[in-house]
C-alpha cells in the first residue's frame, strides 16, 4: 500500500528518517564523549526506545511514572531516569515497583519530595538514585541557586534509602554559559562536601549541536531529535528532509479560491504555536499558511489562489512533534512512500 491510501487525518512516522536521526546524533554525542539519554516523550513507543538504546544510548528519560511503566511493558529498557518531582504515596509505591525492574533514577528539587522518596525507599534494599534538579534559567522546576543545590545534595546523601545521583537541568535556550556556570559552581560546592557528582545531565533539542558550550555536562537528554519538527527547522537545527513525523490530511472544503479547509484540526496538530506563526509547514507548499485551527478543521489561506482541490492530500510538518504524538492512539509507520504498519502509541496520554 502506498501512503496516499491511508485514511486521513493520520500521523505518519518515516522509519528511514528516524533511523538516520538516531544514528547521526548518537555519533555526534559519541564524538563529543557525552552520554546520550533520549527522552521518550517525543515518540512514546517502546519499539523506538529500543532502537535508541541499541544505537548506543545509555538509557532513556521519562517525565512521569506511568510513562516509565509503559516503556518497561515490552522489555529491553534497563536504565531509566524520571525527570520529575514525585510526590504522594500511590506514585511512590509505583516507583518502588519500577525500581525492581530497572536501574532507576529520579530528580527532586525540594526537601518534601526527598523525604517522601526516602520514606518509601528505606524499606527496600536497593537505594534510589536521586539527582538534584537545577533551574538554570528556564523558570520551571529546580533549585534556583548552586548553594541550594548543594544543600539538597547533602540531604539526599544523608537520607536512608537514597543515593545522590548528580545534577540535572532543563536548560533555557541559548544561555549555555549561564547554565555551565551554575552547574560548575554547584558541582564544586557539592564535591567540597566529599560527595561525588557522577552525572551532570543537560539537554534540549534547540541547542543540540552546541553541547561543547556546557562542558560540565556528562549526559544529554533530548526528545525531538528523533522526529524533528517545524520549530527546529525554523531554528535551522534540522532541514525538511530530517522531519520523520508528518500529518497526512485531506482538503475537505474550498469555499473560496484563497481558502481551503483540511481535516486535521487541533485534535491532531494541537494549538501549540511554539512561538511560530501558523500551525505547520505544508510540504511542497511553503507559501500556504495554516492560519486558523478548530478541533477538526484547519484553514489554509493564501494571498492568491491556494491551488488546492477537494480530496487532495497534504503532508504537514507540525510546529511541535512531541505534542502531536500525544493526540492519537495510533501512528502509521512508513518508509518513504511505503506503508509499513499501524503502530500503537503505547504511552499516549500517560500523565500520572
Binding positions for a second copy, rule: CB under 8 A: 7-9, 41, 63-64, 84-85, 87-88, 90-91, 109-110, 112-113, 135, 139-144, 250, 252-256, 259, 261, 263-264, 266-268, 270-273, 292, 294-297, 299, 309-311, 322-323, 326-329, 349, 351-352
Residue placing its CB nearer to a second copy in the complex, 304 or 351 = 351
Name the nearest CA neighbour of 223 among 245, 256, 199. 245
Provide the b/e sequence for 152-172 (b: ≥16 CB within 10 Å).
bbbbbbebebbebbbbbbbbb
Q: What's the closest the beta carbon of residue 255 comes to a second copy, in angstroms?
A: 5
Residue placing its CB nearer to a second copy in the complex, 26 or 292 = 292
Residue placing its CB nearer to a second copy in the complex, 33 or 88 = 88
Q: What's the closest the beta carbon of residue 141 comes to a second copy, in angstroms?
A: 4
User: Residue 98 class from Cβ within 10 Å (0-12 exposed, 13-18 middle, 19+ buried)?
Assistant: buried
Sequence-ordered alpha helix ranges (H) in the chain: 15-32, 46-54, 65-72, 89-101, 111-121, 146-158, 176-192, 230-234, 266-269, 321-325
Q: What's the closest the beta carbon of residue 297 comes to a second copy, in angstroms?
A: 6
Q: What's the closest the beta carbon of residue 322 comes to a second copy, in angstroms?
A: 6
Under DSSP, the state recorded for 74 is T
Q: How far is CA 171 from the centre of its chain?
A: 13
CB 104 within 8 A of CB 92: no
Q: What's the closest the beta carbon of residue 135 comes to a second copy, in angstroms?
A: 6
User: Residue 47 class from Cβ within 10 Å (0-12 exposed, 13-18 middle, 19+ buried)?
Assistant: middle
Q: What's the closest the beta carbon of residue 56 comes to a second copy, in angstroms?
A: 26
Residue placing its CB nearer to a second copy in the complex, 140 or 341 = 140
Cα angle: 338, vertex 223, 84; to 5 degrees: 140
User: Residue 292 class from Cβ within 10 Å (0-12 exposed, 13-18 middle, 19+ buried)?
Assistant: middle
Residue placing its CB nearer to a second copy in the complex, 18 or 264 = 264
Name the nearest CA neighbour of 303 among 261, 258, 260. 258
Q: What's the closest the beta carbon of residue 113 comes to a second copy, in angstroms?
A: 7
Q: What's the closest the beta carbon of residue 257 comes to a second copy, in angstroms?
A: 11
Residue with cell 483540511: 262
Residue placing its CB nearer to a second copy in the complex, 9 or 165 = 9
Residue placing its CB nearer to a second copy in the complex, 144 or 340 = 144
Residue placing its CB nearer to a second copy in the complex, 213 or 267 = 267
Amino acid at each position: 500500500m502506498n501512503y496516499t491510501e491511508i485514511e486521513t487525518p493520520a500521523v505518519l512516522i518515516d522509519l528511514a528518517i528516524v533511523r538516520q536521526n538516531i544514528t547521526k546524533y548518537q555519533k555526534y554525542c559519541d564524538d563529543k564523549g557525552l552520554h546520550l539519554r533520549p527522552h521518550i516523550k517525543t515518540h512514546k513507543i517502546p519499539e523506538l526506545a529500543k532502537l535508541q538504546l541499541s544505537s548506543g544510548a545509555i538509557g532513556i528519560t521519562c517525565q512521569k511514572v506511568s510513562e516509565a511503566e509503559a516503556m518497561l511493558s515490552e522489555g529491553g529498557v534497563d536504565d531509566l531516569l524520571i525527570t520529575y518531582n514525585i510526590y504522594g504515596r500511590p506514585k511512590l509505591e509505583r516507583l518502588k515497583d519500577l525500581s525492581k525492574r530497572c536501574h532507576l533514577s529520579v530528580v527532586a528539587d525540594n526537601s518534601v519530595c526527598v523525604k517522601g522518596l526516602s520514606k518509601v525507599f528505606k524499606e527496600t534494599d536497593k537505594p534510589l538514585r536521586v539527582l538534584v534538579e537545577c533551574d538554570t534559567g528556564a523558570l520551571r522546576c529546580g533549585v534556583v541557586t548552586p548553594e541550594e543545590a548543594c544543600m539538597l545534595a547533602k540531604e539526599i546523601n544523608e537520607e536512608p534509602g537514597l543515593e545522590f545521583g548528580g545534577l540535572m537541568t532543563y536548560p533555557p535556550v541559548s544561555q549555555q554559559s549561564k547554565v555551565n556556570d551554575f552547574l560548575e559552581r554547584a558541582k564544586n560546592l557539592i564535591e567540597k562536601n566529599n560527595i561525588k557528582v557522577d552525572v551532570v545531565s543537560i539537554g534540549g533539542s534547540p541547542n543540540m549541536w552546541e553541547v561543547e558550550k556546557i562542558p560540565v555536562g556528562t549526559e544529554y537528554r533530548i526528545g525531538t531529535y528523533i522526529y524533528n519538527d517545524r520549530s527546529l527547522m525554523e531554528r535551522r537545527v534540522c532541514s525538511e528532509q530530517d522531519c520523520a513525523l508528518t500529518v497526512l490530511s485531506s482538503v475537505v472544503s474550498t469555499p473560496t479560491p484563497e481558502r481551503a479547509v483540511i481535516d486535521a484540526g487541533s485534535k491532531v496538530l494541537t494549538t501549540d504555536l511554539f512561538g511560530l506563526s501558523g500551525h505547520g509547514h505544508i510540504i511542497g507548499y511553503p507559501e500556504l499558511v495554516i492560519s486558523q485551527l478548530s478541533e477538526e478543521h484547519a484553514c489554509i489561506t493564501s494571498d492568491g489562489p491556494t491551488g488546492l482541490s477537494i480530496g487532495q492530500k497534504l503532508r504537514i510538518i507540525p510546529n511541535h512533534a512531541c505534542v502531536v504524538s500525544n493526540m492519537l492512539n495510533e501512528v502509521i509507520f512508513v518508509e518513504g512512500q511505503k506503508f509499513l504498519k499501524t503502530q500503537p502509541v503505547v504511552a499516549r496520554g500517560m500523565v500520572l
